Amino acid sequence: MILGYSISIPDNDHYMYDNLKLPVCAKYMDVYSINVYDPDFKFKKQRMNISETWDGFLIVSELFKNFCEKEDYSGLEFISLPATKKFYWLKIHNVKVFDSTARRTKFINYSEECLGFGGVYGATPVCLKQKLSLEDNLFRTDICFGDYEKKSPVYLTGEVTKQKLKRAGFKEISFEKILDEYQWQREGKDPNAIVIG
């Protein structure tokens, strides 16, 4: 059964953290727990309505923001980027629990001092704990994936939202099915030997 879709978003060839001094423990955190952005961040690729920085920030246009507001989606926070008008850091507060055991996600380089992992790998295909269809809204996983301070969540949506995004013309987004069970699970295989993610 299809539960929903993970959203793939193109990189915009920018870093948010370039001019910021982060705390020592940032390497064992993620963009949501660090929760700092550069007010002087300049975004040059302004034809992109939705994209992601190399360090995991979801950047959206005013057009995308207006779409979400028109649809009355809750749990979304749009943080203005003063140096790039009409663009926002979109923080999604609607969280779905990722099944890291089923996916065999790897957590490496744990820091006792900072209480976090330096790397988290094994995000796709997405495995969710709750086997229910995703509602009409935008979501993210509770776990963030990647290296050091660049760790970010996987973004998710349901079938209805997928169709609305397509009709609205947000062509940058691609969608990957989230299933309640995968063939490699039924066959008892290791997803890391099959999928890069």
- The pLDDT of residue 194: 60
How confident is the model over 124-172, as pLDDT tens digits?
999 999 999 999 999 999 999 999 999 999 999 999 999 999 999 998 9
Q: How confident is the model at residue 174 (pLDDT cuts 50, 70, 90)?
A: very high
Q: Is the pLDDT of residue 197 over 90?
A: no
- The pLDDT of residue 27: 96
Q: Is the pLDDT of residue 45 over 80?
A: no
Percent of the chain whose pLDDT exceeds 90: 86
Q: How confident is the model at residue 195 (pLDDT cuts 50, 70, 90)?
A: low
- The pLDDT of residue 47: 83
Average pLDDT over residues 78-100: 96
User: With the C-alpha atoms ordered 55, 170, 142, 180, is the resulting torsion angle positive or negative?
Assistant: negative
Residue 64 contacts residue 43 (beta carbons within 8 Å): no
Q: Is the pLDDT of residue 185 over 50?
A: yes
How confident is the model over 95-119, as pLDDT tens digits?
999 999 999 999 999 999 999 999 9
Q: How far is CA 195 from CA 16, 120, 188, 190, in A?
A: 29, 15, 14, 9
pTM, 2 dp: 0.93
